[in-house]
Amino acid sequence: MELWIKIGSAVLLATMFVVIFPKAKHMLANSPKGSAQDWLGALFPIVLVILFVIFLISLV
Amino acid sequence: MNQNPVIVDRGQASVLATNKVLRNTYMLLSMTLLFSGLTAGLSMAMQLPFAMYFGSVIGAFALIWLVLPRVAKSGAGIAVVFAITGLLGVGLGPLLNYYTALANGSQIIGLALGGTGVIFVGLSAYVLTTKKDFSFMGGFLFAGFLVILVAAIANIFFQIPALSLTISSAIILIMSGFILYDTSRIINGGETNYILATIGIYLALYNIFVSLLQILGIFGGDD
């Protein structure tokens, strides 16, 4: 990767960080808290996604 | 006999409004995905350089941060959404040309595309059938995304293959979480603007597709 693309990419990602940081801070402080049951309900489809990606990898 | 007709009417109105947001979101999403496919195809045919990917992402994020918030509640917002997704499609062209040059490049692209579709349909169906509220994931998802950004910045300079793989995998998981979160916000009335809802889901799909390309490229012999 050329140096200017590296620097540009880093600047872009750093800008994203700066833009998103206040929202993330606000969300962390103000999001409703999920119960263990809620997190299990979210974990289930995410585990399926992981298994599906592993399946895709096995196909290449 | 119905004892609370006003409450029931308001409830029905809310459900109808939610269905309208969901329907408009999926309609706009499908049109923007087709448009991205078109601009990506043109970009591939024109053999645009890889720097175009970088330039289009900058242009798209400038529109997302500076223009979209001002026009999201007007008809001009739709034009801006097409501009954003068109630009991101143009950026995909050089990336897709890179993968098509690989021995099994067509297979990798096909699997990444199909895989993204299956993940989206599966996660959306899960939220729509269970009607669970995933708003509690907001803080976790945004914090997770910030961690990924820091790791990605570091890896631009360190170029560690294992870290690249970890980042791509983490992006797929976080973006899958965002699909759950965004869809649940639409059906639970937390998001009433279909233009913003479309962009949120589109970006999650875009990131999942690009990350799947990278992961399948790594395991398919591209290093």
pLDDT digits (tens, 9 = 90+) for B199-222: 999 999 999 999 999 999 999 865
The residue of chain B with its CA nearest to that of A22 is B142
B127-131, long-range: CB < 8 A, 24+ apart: B127/B179, B127/B180, B127/B183, B127/B184, B127/B187, B128/B183, B128/B187, B130/A41, B131/B187, B131/B188
Measured CA to CA, the distance from residue B62 to residue B40 in angstroms comes to 20
Closest CA–CA distance from residue B105 to any residue of chain A (Å): 10
Tokens of B67: 């223009």
pLDDT band at A6 (very low <50, low <70, confident <90, very high): confident
Q: Considering only CB atoms, which chain B residues are within 8 Å of A30?
A: 139
- What residue has token string 């808290």? A33
For residue B220, the one-letter residue type is G
Closest CA–CA distance from residue B156 to any residue of chain A (Å): 6
Half-sphere exposure of B10 (CA within 13 A, CB side): 3
Tokens of B47: 């053999």
pLDDT digit string (tens) for chain B, length 223 residues: 455 555 556 566 666 667 889 999 999 999 999 999 999 999 999 999 888 888 899 999 999 999 999 999 988 999 999 999 999 999 999 999 999 999 889 999 999 999 999 999 999 999 999 999 999 999 999 999 999 999 999 999 888 999 999 999 999 999 999 999 999 999 998 899 999 999 999 999 999 999 999 999 999 865 4
Query: Looking at residue B220, what DSSP letter applies?
Result: T
- What residue has token string 């962390």? A28
Q: Closest Cα partner for B190 from B54, B25, B67?
A: B25
Q: Considering only CB atoms, which chain A residues are within 8 Å of B115?
A: 52-53, 56
Q: Into how many domains does chain B fold?
A: 1
Question: B43 near B89, Cβ under 8 Å?
Answer: yes
Domain that holds residue B58: 5-219
Measured CA to CA, the distance from residue A29 to residue B9 in angstroms comes to 35
User: Which ranges in chain B belong to alpha helices (H)?
Assistant: 5-45, 51-62, 68-71, 76-100, 105-130, 138-158, 161-187, 194-219
Q: Per residue in A10-32, pLDDT tens? A: 998 999 999 999 999 999 898 88
The residue of chain A with its CA nearest to that of B175 is A46
Closest CA–CA distance from residue B60 to any residue of chain A (Å): 12
Q: How many contacts does A have with B, using Cβ atoms within 8 A?
A: 118
Q: Cβ–Cβ of B216/A27 closer than 8 Å?
A: no
User: Which ranges in A1-60 belong to alpha helices (H)?
Assistant: 3-30, 36-59
Q: Considering only CB atoms, which chain B residues are within 8 Å of A17?
A: 146, 149-150, 153
Question: B57 near A16, Cβ under 8 Å?
Answer: no
Closest CA–CA distance from residue B84 to any residue of chain A (Å): 16
Q: Is A6 on the interface with B (CB under 8 A)?
A: yes
Give one word for B215, left, alpha or beta, with left for phi > 0 and alpha for psi -120 to 50. alpha
Tokens of A51: 């298994």
Q: Closest Cα partner for B221 from B112, B116, B113, B108?
A: B108
Question: B133 near B188, Cβ under 8 Å?
Answer: yes
